[in-house]
Structure 1
Amino acid sequence: MYTLYYIAGIATIISFVSNKEKTIQGLKVGWKKFSKILGTYLKLLIILSFILLISDQFIINYLGGQAPFVGLILGLIIGSITMMPGFIAYPLAGILVSRGVNYMVVAAFITTLMLVGVATYPVEKEFFGIKATIWRNIAGFLISALIALATGILYGEVLI
């Protein structure tokens, strides 16, 4: 990550040396755009701070040991409101499976985690609009439910 900072700093210095006025103008435009979206990102960070309080053990307790369809619904809901990067989510999926959580429930949790963005709603509505954001989240939720049901059928957890 620091490498990107160094590259950006060196590129800015090179730009400044080659054309001082354009570099200053570009930095001013960048600052205006950054300050325009700063409030939205701060809201997102506050929401994420609260979501990170939800521990892995909490998720395991509520997703495991339920009836398959209750676990499916809980997986869809918890995955929709939780937000974490893939490099944390996929090992968590392995932990859930090793603790006995159904594959269908894990599929519901992980796919809604990646496809549905309740926590990112404030940022999304700024860039895509309210209607597009809501439709994207509904579509992601329905696709996640279908993926989870297909996973349950393929693993024999749900009988047709």
Structure 2
Amino acid sequence: MANLILYATAFGFLGVSYVKDRKKTKMALKKAWKAFENILPQFLGIIIVVGLLLSILNPEVIARILGGQSGWFGVVISSVVGAITLMPPFVAFPTAALLLENGAGLMQMAAFVSSLMMVGVVTAPIEMQYLGKKLTLWRNVLAFIFSFLVAYVMGRVV
């Protein structure tokens, strides 16, 4: 029901925009379509990889490695994987949702997503060129530690 309300609201505002200025609305829709075309290959690639992993690893294996019962061991694994993975946010959140649905724990996914968004092992060399080695190292170490704090808080709240 909530999805229906959101879609109706979005199309309602689109209609208002179209009535107000047809030219700008058409231009915005063209830009949105181009952005969608640019995002789609990355999104499909990650969904395919996650789908293959989910077909190879059954929910019991995922639950054992990343489930709530894996405890801090699973949080560390999730945080390390998140830190070394380069994935845009619009792909990271659906990926975490798929893993949650297949047995991963909330603390583990909180660590994964937070380290994925904040720690940049892959992008560190570029960051070092602009911010320097010391600042890049400190930022990444503190962000990695913060991902454990996020996991802890999520484990206590939910």
Instruction: Structure 1: give runs of 5+ residues left out of the alignment.
Output: 4-51, 156-160
Shift of 1:100: 1.4
1:83 aligns with: 86
1:92 aligned partner, one-letter code: T
Aligned partner of residue 121 in structure 2, secondary structure? coil
CA contact 1:63–1:105 (8 Å) conserved in 2: no
Partners of 1:149 and 1:102 in 2: CA distance: 12
Partners of 2:126 and 2:53 in 1: CA distance: 27
Distance 1:84 1:68, change over 3 A: same
1:112 aligns with: 115
Partners of 2:107 and 2:76 in 1: CA distance: 10
Partners of 2:119 and 2:62 in 1: CA distance: 18
2:144 aligns with: 141
1:153 aligned partner, one-letter code: R
Instruction: Structure 2: give runs of 5+ residues left out of the alignment.
Output: 1-29, 32-45
1:52-85 C-alpha deviation (Å, 9 max, x unpaired): 8xx3254895753231211101001100000100
2:131 aligned partner, one-letter code: F
Aligned length: 106
Tell me whether 62-71 or 131-140 shows the greater mean CA deviation: 62-71
Match status 1:64 vs 2:63: yes
Partners of 1:91 and 1:142 in 2: CA distance: 24
Structural RMSD (CA): 2.6
Normalised by the length of structure 2, the TM-score is 0.60
CA contact 2:62–2:102 (8 Å) conserved in 1: no
Which runs of at least 4 in structure 1 moved beyond 4 Å after TM superposition? 57-63
2:117 aligned partner, one-letter code: M
Distance 1:133 1:58, change over 3 A: farther
Structure with larger Rg: 1
1:74-118 C-alpha deviation (Å, 9 max, x unpaired): 001100000100000011111011111110000000000000000
If each structure's helix is expressed as a fraction of its own residues, which one has the higher value? 2
Partners of 2:145 and 2:76 in 1: CA distance: 12
Aligned partner of residue 84 in structure 1, secondary structure? coil
Partners of 2:149 and 2:140 in 1: CA distance: 14
Partners of 1:63 and 1:72 in 2: CA distance: 13
